[in-house]
Structure 1
Amino acid sequence: MQELSQRTSQFTDSVIRRMTRVSMKYDAINLSQGFPDFDPPAEITDRLAEVAHTGPHQYAITWGAPNFRAALAAKQGPRMGLDIDPETQIVVTCGSTEAMMCSVMTVTNPGDRIVIFSPFYENYGADTILCGAEPTYVELHAPTFTFDEAELEAACAIPGTKALILCNPSNPCGHVFSRAELETIAKMAEKYDLWAITDEVYEHIVYAPHEHVYFASLPGMEQRTLSCSSLSKTYSMTGWRLGYVIAPADVIDRARKVHDFLTVGAAAPLMEAAVAGLTLPQSYYDELTALYTHKRDLFCNGLRDLGFDFIEPQGAYYVMADVSGLGYEDDYDCAVDLCRKVGVGTVPGSCFFNAPENRFVRFHFAKSDEVLKAALDRLDGWREKMAR
């Protein structure tokens, strides 16, 4: 028999999603895979009930239903400070996962290099490898998770480097890149003629005094940025798989071809229903920020009371907790034991880092208050439970 693809042997299955299965095995509270346990806004689900009877039920236009793209442009344009043409500058994808893969395939050739900040969402490395490109990692230094400008420039200057991936706010570490940091990255993108592929899926989950700055809004960056996001986290609808790429028209023309042959198109009835979310007033986003600020404070204060050493996030809904004191050589074993002995599911931090790193596990707090309090109750006495 012919051997299987070599490129697919270079990474494992998703450790995040594997930990959901481990949590289910041990009946642990799943604070690993980052999906909310509460429903989308009623405006969206009510509209979905209508669409179930009236349609559409057949293929939409490959790159997204016109009314969905129009609503998305109307929502994102003012926030990004851009005049977005829904007819030429948007492709709707099956989640931000496809948006990122579509973007990488659009701008890179096999053998090109892509700069990725580490820690990173595990899909970025796999996307790069699947496209035949090579990753170059730049460390975000704990505990502040900021980068060194000289290290970034050294990575960008490597011959064959064509793009960089920026997750802001960052999954897993919750860092919100300041305007000054983004301007430094923009300077490097300009100097070394790099495409910027941004994952901004947590754009509306940012904690005061931090503010989200869209990379494409910086001077000179609109023409070299592919802005990726989705509705998953903003509207608590991760299962709907509605994402998008916003970029200049010539870039989107190419990205639409890639998308067409990857998935054909996003689900027509879900796009129709989701328009009701895209047209919600600003008060919805203010309430979302308040909701997650409350959950962050509830969970982080609980971890602090229980003696955890952790890094309080500036954005997104994850907490990186230091469990190195437990003495595990392999943080995956530690995460499994947290499920088995304590009853709380986490993600071993090593899957997010390029360099060897096993100090951290990642919790998420996109859960009801009752679930978060139950998880904290189970974590009470966590050191003693883990020592058994």
Structure 2
Amino acid sequence: MTQPLIAERLHDFAGPTIFSEMTALAQQAGAANLGQGFPDSDGPPELLAAAADAIGRGLNQYPPATGLPELREAIAARRTADQRLTYDPRTEVVVTAGATEAIAAALIGLCDPGDEVIVFDPLYDSYSACLAMAQVRRVPVLLEFDGTRFTFDPEAFRRAVTPRTRLVLLNTPHNPTGKVFDESELALIAEVCMAHDLVAVTDEVYEHLVYDGLRHRSLATLPGMRERTLTISSAGKTFSCTGWKVGWACGPARLVTTVRTVKQYLTFGTGTPFQAAVAHGLTRCMPWVDELRAELARRRDLLVAELRAVGITTYPCDATYFVQMDARSFGHDDGETLCRALIRDAGVAAIPSVALYDDKAAGRHLVRLAFCKEPGLLTTAARRLAAYASDASAAPREGQERTSND
């Protein structure tokens, strides 16, 4: 294959993402795809109808660079209703081509080459690519499973700050661990940001998909943090319309202006009829989102119960589309090797979590499963995994020791 002509800082990102690779392999094998995190059913019919209506009404040309006014107003109203935060839709809200563009624009606009950004490890793969494009250094703080939950060492977080630190990039609810950062963790992050005059960029795309009575709290709600936090979210996960790529950023005008400055030279504007539909959704379709949240919790429980019943270890999941599974339950120490074997031999596609880790040793044994799928598919996948685990237990592969699920 011809080698791409690409800048040195992007060499590590030249190939397809792990999500694209595993999805392609799943399609070739006809595997049950619990890999890439997209739902296999559409969002609320009312939302879809609103998009069709917007097209019919002629909303098919460029939107304003900051987004349709009605969408910015709906976003601001939603932040007030959900987090008791007030934003001026004219100057403190900008609409982007999904959350990914908002993150990229923030990093490119706020950082100079050589700056450092603190991230939590594991991290969604686009973060690393965006940081490379901005020519800044990522400084990972590991999220470790303490026997109950994924959390981080407060002193490791404090030590991550140097004179070159520019900002903290926080993803909560967190992909791939399913973690919701709690009050004490948010308070520590806020304390460090204020002590060192750091900006916080928060990716909150799963803000409405939190289970078991837990509550997502935005970092911007903590005392002193609204004026130094850029909060990013999107419609894709909230309304099961990941292909629409309608995202946004809220924050003080000085930060939102930075995002707007960069994004006007990236996409300028995108998806005008979808923006109109999302404005309708944020205003009228939130009861549907409540039902989605309850249904996703049921699907998570279905998948986890099927796996645990046969001794497959999974980790707690409080939010998002994803649950982590332990490859060692199958007699594998390497999640990536297991994922390739599962597609070939079990007919199930998953994502090796190690692809999202800076600390490869810490994530080597973890596999991410998406439960945002129809119950029938989840049951089929779980039973295939159970059968494969049973075979692996009966006849471990050469050179691999059987390990405990304890």
TM class, shorter-length? over 0.9
- Comparing 35-44 with 320-329, greater Cα deviation is found at 320-329
Corresponding residue of 1:369: 375
Three-state SS of the structure 1 residue aligned to 2:140 is strand
Q: Do the aligned residues in 2 keep the contact of 1:306 with 1:379 (CA within 8 Å)?
A: no
User: CA shift at 1:297, angstroms?
Assistant: 0.9
Corresponding residue of 1:153: 158
Q: Do the aligned residues in 1 keep the contact of 2:44 with 2:285 (CA within 8 Å)?
A: no
Separation in 1 of the partners of 2:332 and 2:266?
41
Corresponding residue of 2:110: 107
Corresponding residue of 1:378: 384
Gap regions ≥5 residues in structure 2: 398-406
Among 58, 66, 72, which residue is 2:61 paired with? 58
Corresponding residue of 2:52: 49
User: CA shift at 1:282, angstroms?
Assistant: 4.8
User: CA shift at 1:80, angstroms?
Assistant: 2.1
Separation in 1 of the partners of 2:31 and 2:156?
40
Corresponding residue of 1:130: 133
- Comparing 298-307 with 112-121, greater Cα deviation is found at 298-307
1:28 aligns with 2:31: yes
Q: Do the aligned residues in 2 keep the contact of 1:165 with 1:197 (CA within 8 Å)?
A: yes
Among 327, 348, 352, which residue is 1:348 paired with? 352
Separation in 1 of the partners of 2:223 and 2:75?
23
Corresponding residue of 1:304: 308
- Comparing 279-288 with 269-278, greater Cα deviation is found at 279-288
User: CA shift at 1:159, angstroms?
Assistant: 2.1
- Percent of aligned pairs sharing the same letter: 35
User: CA shift at 1:4, angstroms?
Assistant: 3.5
The one-character-per-residue Cα deviations of 1:319-348 (angstroms, maximum 9, x if unpaired) are: 111113545464322211111111111001
Separation in 2 of the partners of 1:57 and 1:349?
39
Q: Do the aligned residues in 2 keep the contact of 1:103 with 1:245 (CA within 8 Å)?
A: no
Corresponding residue of 2:400: none
1:16 aligns with 2:19: yes
Q: Do the aligned residues in 1 keep the contact of 2:47 with 2:285 (CA within 8 Å)?
A: no
1:339 aligns with 2:355: no
Corresponding residue of 1:262: 266
Three-state SS of the structure 1 residue aligned to 2:168 is strand
Corresponding residue of 2:100: 97
Q: Do the aligned residues in 1 keep the contact of 2:46 with 2:285 (CA within 8 Å)?
A: no
User: CA shift at 1:233, angstroms?
Assistant: 0.5
CA change 1:384–1:293 in 2 (3 A) is closer
Separation in 2 of the partners of 1:178 and 1:271?
32
User: CA shift at 1:377, angstroms?
Assistant: 2.4
Three-state SS of the structure 2 residue aligned to 1:320 is strand
Corresponding residue of 2:220: 216
- Comparing 163-172 with 275-284, greater Cα deviation is found at 275-284
Q: Do the aligned residues in 1 keep the contact of 2:306 with 2:383 (CA within 8 Å)?
A: no
CA change 1:33–1:290 in 2 (3 A) is same
What is the CA RMSD across the aligned residues, in angstroms?
1.8
CA change 1:95–1:3 in 2 (3 A) is closer
Q: Do the aligned residues in 2 keep the contact of 1:34 with 1:366 (CA within 8 Å)?
A: yes
CA change 1:38–1:2 in 2 (3 A) is closer
Among 193, 198, 209, which residue is 2:197 paired with? 193
Three-state SS of the structure 2 residue aligned to 1:261 is coil
The one-character-per-residue Cα deviations of 1:222-280 (angstroms, maximum 9, x if unpaired) are: 11111011000110000000001111112212211101001111211111122221112
Corresponding residue of 1:287: 291
Q: Do the aligned residues in 2 keep the contact of 1:68 with 1:271 (CA within 8 Å)?
A: yes
When normalised by structure 2's length, the TM-score is 0.91
Q: Do the aligned residues in 2 keep the contact of 1:306 with 1:381 (CA within 8 Å)?
A: no
What is the count of residue pairs matched by the alignment? 387
Q: Do the aligned residues in 2 keep the contact of 1:300 with 1:312 (CA within 8 Å)?
A: no
User: CA shift at 1:17, angstroms?
Assistant: 2.3
Separation in 2 of the partners of 1:166 and 1:85?
23
Three-state SS of the structure 2 residue aligned to 1:244 is strand
Separation in 2 of the partners of 1:145 and 1:266?
36
CA change 1:352–1:243 in 2 (3 A) is same
User: CA shift at 1:30, angstroms?
Assistant: 1.0
User: CA shift at 1:378, angstroms?
Assistant: 1.9
Separation in 2 of the partners of 1:356 and 1:319?
19
Letter in 1 for 2:240: S
Q: Do the aligned residues in 2 keep the contact of 1:342 with 1:385 (CA within 8 Å)?
A: no
Q: Do the aligned residues in 1 keep the contact of 2:172 with 2:181 (CA within 8 Å)?
A: yes
- Comparing 164-173 with 354-363, greater Cα deviation is found at 354-363
Among 190, 194, 207, which residue is 1:203 paired with? 207
Separation in 2 of the partners of 1:260 and 1:162?
23
Letter in 1 for 2:324: M
User: CA shift at 1:107, angstroms?
Assistant: 1.3
- Comparing 232-241 with 48-57, greater Cα deviation is found at 48-57
Separation in 2 of the partners of 1:232 and 1:105?
23
Separation in 2 of the partners of 1:271 and 1:286?
21
Letter in 1 for 2:210: V
Corresponding residue of 1:278: 282
Corresponding residue of 1:249: 253
Three-state SS of the structure 1 residue aligned to 2:338 is helix
